[in-house]
């Protein structure tokens, strides 16, 4: 719309004469995006972007649409037809607009009232397994068309004991990896597939998709004992380092879909040019591997253009050949040739929430895959966030761009950065990460908590006509679901009754909603499942002089899963831990200078286990070591 309409003199004149025009970057203002995308869904039943909203002086919407052409086309009304109608109604029939706006306000209020009335209802457990099997595409994996990867849902389902669902998830992950939705040359995922087979993507690449994919493939690699998944996680990290990693160590937001106004132009291959780009001995094998055709294998789902160009995708029967290609010099050669073309524009905003996602994914994947480079990348990215986007203890800005930090942090910034710092502590045992996590948690409770749940922007602010408390998941878990996880992990450490009260209030407000559409609340359901089984904490106390300390630390912080909270009491950390949790761990000491483990479940700790060998035997008996 920017090129077709907003840069058009006729449209611009009409807009500027009759409207106050505001273009919102939804990455910079997720609060604005969230409230108006919800309003659009209420008004029309649909959503999506670009989002076109017209509001009253009070910012209440009365018109909502997505893409609008300049003039009517293919049954879709155009701006030049719609704008005069709205202007006429505004000037002559304002009461119609007022009535629509009032209805929207009422819908938001009724939503809140319905929530309050359901707080006393008993939780109805929903079976995500049946929903997934009912909606799942047994032939090509995934759900629906267009096909969006729903990694957080699939991770939730891995927790089940249903072999049929687990097999479906593994099948879907393989289909994504061999499909056109995955960049077979540079690595990384495109936003979604427009077709059923995962072959034709919308070519935009988002940092949050890479974070979700990275941790999912890392976990799946261990869960299914499948090297193809582990290699995919490493390949995504390769893409992150090469395309989205900034010089300062934090990560950029995205790469555009278009090049010179053509969707996917950088990624597509002319049959002849591909043939000329590879050695003759490799031509036939690669054309077969990637289903290349003289007339092209790519069709643009919007314009319907094609065939003509080719996109690289393989079939499941060719996984072995694809794995070989992924580690070959030919792949690097083709990538270098592709990079001589005009490249997609990179969105070089550094967003706190999305960086929190990738820091968390890197920290967790580092432990799962025993990859130190991932852990180092996570630490470096966080140090940038702390130095440039955290102006004071416990405070966060949302965006850093061209040397300037700005926009006060939203719920997602705090939620994901709390998770990231807890994960970094669980990986490294460095006490400043734990300090930062609890400082961010304190601020988030003060700023965003309202009636058990959390608002997207500060609960006391009156910037919008309604306060958003989004619980349902989107492309990634909601800020509320991550805050619930953070609260549960914080309670593992503190045993604080006020935190338990906050957790109870959250469940009282949230759980009735999960009855309506369970697969939209997968992240919260997964956290609830873990809550039912109880929190666990492994406390390691060490004395400075014992040679077993390093091995004991590695055992606890590298071999126990990230889902289990860990605490390291040593001479350096004990004072800070006492400040964080007064009187909680005063009696937890290293006995006889031996590394000592205190293993706690639901705030009840077993007798201390002394010495490396006994600690290892104890954990083996518990069946919780990841290797």
Reported as a single tens digit per residue, the pLDDT across 115-134 is: 444 433 333 344 677 778 88
The CATH architecture assigned to 349-532 reads Alpha/alpha barrel (1.50)
Q: 385-417 burial, b if ≥16 CB within 10 A, otherwise e?
A: beebbbeeebebbbbbbeeebebebbbbbbbbb
Residue ranges per structural domain of the chain: 2-117, 136-347, 349-532, 535-627
Average pLDDT of the residues in 404-417: 97
What's the CA gap between 295 and 352, in Å, rounded?
Answer: 44
pLDDT of residue 99: 80
Q: Report, in angstroms and rounded to the nearest whole number, the Rg of the chain calculated over CA atoms.
A: 26
Report the share of the chain in percent with pLDDT over 90.
62
Q: Do domains 2-117 and 349-532 have the same CATH topology?
A: no
3-state secondary structure of 19: coil
pLDDT of residue 282: 95
Dihedral of CA 31/32/35/38: which sign? negative
| Angle CA 169–175–179, to nearest 5 | 150
Q: pLDDT exceeding 70 applies to what percent of the chain?
A: 91
The neighbouring-strand residues paired with 331 are none
Check the CA dihedral 260-265-266-272 and report its sign: negative
pTM comes to: 0.86
Question: Which 3-state string (H, E, C) describes 477-524?
Answer: CCHHHHHHHHHHHHHHHHCCHHHHHHHHHHHHHHHHHHCCCHHHHHHH
Q: Pick 535-627's CATH classification: 3.40.50.1820, 3.40.30.10, 3.20.20.70, 2.60.120.510.
A: 3.40.30.10
Separation between Cα atoms, residue 345 and residue 259, nearest integer Å: 7
CATH of 2-117 among 1.10.1370.40, 2.120.10.30, 3.40.50.720, 3.40.30.10: 3.40.30.10
> Nearest 5°: CA angle at 476, between 184 and 192?
35
Confidence of residue 462 (pLDDT cuts 50, 70, 90): low
User: CA-CA distances (angstroms) from residue 108 to 24, 45, 508?
Assistant: 22, 15, 20
SS3 350: strand
Q: Tokens representing 423?
A: 């994960």
pLDDT at 91 (0 to 100): 85
Query: Given a cut of 70, is residue 45 above it in pLDDT?
Result: no
Sorted by sequence, the CB contacts under 8 Å of residue 275 that are 6+ apart come out as 283, 287
335 burial level (CB within 10 Å; 0-12, 13-18, 19+):
middle
Contacts for 320 with CB less than 8 Å, ≥ 6 apart = none
CB of 503 closer than 8 Å to CB of 489: no
**54 bridge partner residues:** 63
Average pLDDT of the chain?
Answer: 89
Q: Which of 45, 38, 24 is nearest to 469 (CA)?
A: 38
Q: Report CA torsion sign: 357, 363, 366, 372.
A: positive
CA atoms within 13 A on the CB side of 482: 30
Q: Is the dihedral of CA 324, 325, 330, 333 positive or negative?
A: negative
66-97 per-position pLDDT tens digit: 777 788 866 667 878 888 888 888 888 888 77
Using CA atoms, how far apart are residues 116 and 509, in angstroms rounded to an integer? 7
Q: What is the β-pairing status of strands 609-610 and 596-601? A: antiparallel
Dihedral (CA of 259, 262, 268, 272) sign: negative
Q: Which residue has the higher pLDDT, 589 or 51?
A: 589
Whether residue 344 contacts residue 190, with contact meaning beta carbons closer than 8 Å, is answered with no
Q: Is the pLDDT of residue 214 over 70?
A: yes
Whether 145 and 196 have beta carbons less than 8 Å apart is answered as yes
Contacts of 231 by beta carbon, 8 Å cutoff, 6+ apart: 221, 323, 326
CA–CA gap between residue 178 and residue 31 (Å, rounded): 36
pLDDT at 72: 80
Lowest mean pLDDT among 356-370, 392-406, 519-533, 554-568: 519-533
- Residue range 349-368: average pLDDT? 98
Q: Label residue 514 by pLDDT band (50, 70, 90).
A: confident
**116/195: higher pLDDT:** 195
What is the per-residue pLDDT for 117? 40
């Amino acid at each position: 719309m920017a090129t077709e309409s907003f840069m058009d003199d006729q449209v611009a004149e009409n807009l500027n004469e009759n409207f106050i025009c505001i273009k919102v970057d939804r990455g910079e203002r997720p609060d604005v995006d969230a409230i108006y995308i919800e309003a659009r869904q209420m008004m029309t039943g649909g959503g999506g972007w670009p989002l076109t909203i017209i509001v009253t002086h009070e910012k209440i919407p009365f018109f909502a649409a997505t893409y609008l052409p300049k003039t009517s086309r293919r049954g879709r009304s155009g701006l030049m037809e719609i704008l005069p109608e709205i202007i006429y109604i505004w000037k002559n029939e304002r009461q119609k607009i007022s009535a629509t706006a009032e209805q929207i306000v009422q819908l938001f209020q009724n939503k809140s009232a319905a929530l309050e009335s359901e707080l006393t209802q008993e939780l109805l457990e929903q079976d995500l397994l049946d929903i997934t099997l009912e909606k799942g595409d047994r032939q090509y994996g995934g759900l629906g068309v267009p096909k969006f990867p729903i990694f957080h849902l699939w991770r939730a389902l891995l927790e089940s004991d249903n072999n049929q669902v687990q097999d479906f998830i593994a099948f879907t992950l393989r289909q994504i990896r061999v499909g056109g939705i995955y960049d077979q040359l540079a690595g990384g995922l495109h936003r979604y597939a427009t077709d059923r087979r995962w072959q034709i993507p919308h070519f935009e690449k988002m940092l949050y998709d890479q974070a979700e994919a990275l941790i999912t493939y890392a976990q799946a690699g261990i869960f299914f004992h499948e090297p193809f998944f582990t290699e995919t996680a490493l390949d995504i990290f390769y893409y992150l380092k090469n395309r989205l990693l900034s010089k300062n160590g934090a990560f950029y937001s995205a790469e555009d879909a278009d090049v010179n106004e053509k969707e996917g132009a950088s990624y597509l291959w002319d049959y002849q040019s591909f043939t000329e780009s590879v050695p003759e001995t490799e031509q036939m094998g690669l054309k077969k591997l990637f289903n290349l055709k003289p007339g092209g294998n790519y069709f643009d789902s919007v314009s319907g253009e094609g065939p003509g160009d080719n996109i690289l995708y393989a079939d499941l029967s060719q996984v072995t050949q694809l794995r070989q290609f992924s580690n070959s010099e030919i792949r690097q050669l083709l990538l270098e040739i592709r990079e001589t073309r005009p490249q997609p524009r990179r969105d070089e905003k550094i967003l706190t929430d999305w960086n929190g996602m990738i820091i968390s994914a890197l920290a967790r994947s580092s432990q799962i895959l025993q990859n130190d480079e991932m852990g180092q990348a996570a630490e470096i990215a966080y140090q940038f966030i702390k130095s440039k986007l955290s102006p004071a203890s416990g405070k966060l800005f949302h965006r850093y761009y061209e040397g300037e930090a700005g926009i006060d942090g939203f719920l997602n910034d705090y939620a994901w950065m709390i998770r990231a710092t807890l994960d970094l502590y669980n990986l490294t045992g460095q006490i400043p990460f734990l300090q930062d996590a609890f400082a961010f948690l304190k601020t988030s409770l003060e700023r965003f908590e309202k009636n058990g749940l959390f608002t997207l922007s500060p609960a006391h602010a009156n910037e919008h006509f309604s306060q958003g408390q989004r619980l349902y998941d989107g492309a990634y878990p909601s800020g509320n679901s991550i805050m619930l996880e953070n609260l549960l992990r914080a309670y593992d450490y503190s045993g604080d009754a006020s935190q338990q009260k906050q957790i109870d209030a959250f469940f009282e407000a949230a759980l009735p909603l999960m009855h309506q559409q369970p697969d939209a609340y997968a992240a919260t359901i997964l956290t609830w499942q873990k809550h039912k089984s109880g929190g666990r904490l492994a406390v390691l106390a060490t004395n400075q002089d014992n040679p077993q300390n390093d091995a004991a630390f590695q055992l606890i912080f590298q071999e126990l899963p990230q889902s289990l909270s860990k605490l390291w009491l040593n001479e350096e950390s004990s004072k800070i831990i006492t400040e964080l949790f007064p009187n909680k761990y005063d009696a937890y000491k290293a006995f006889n200078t031996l590394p000592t483990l205190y293993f706690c479940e639901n705030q009840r700790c077993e007798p201390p286990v002394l010495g490396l060998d006994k600690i290892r035997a104890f954990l083996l008996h518990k069946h919780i070591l990841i290797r």
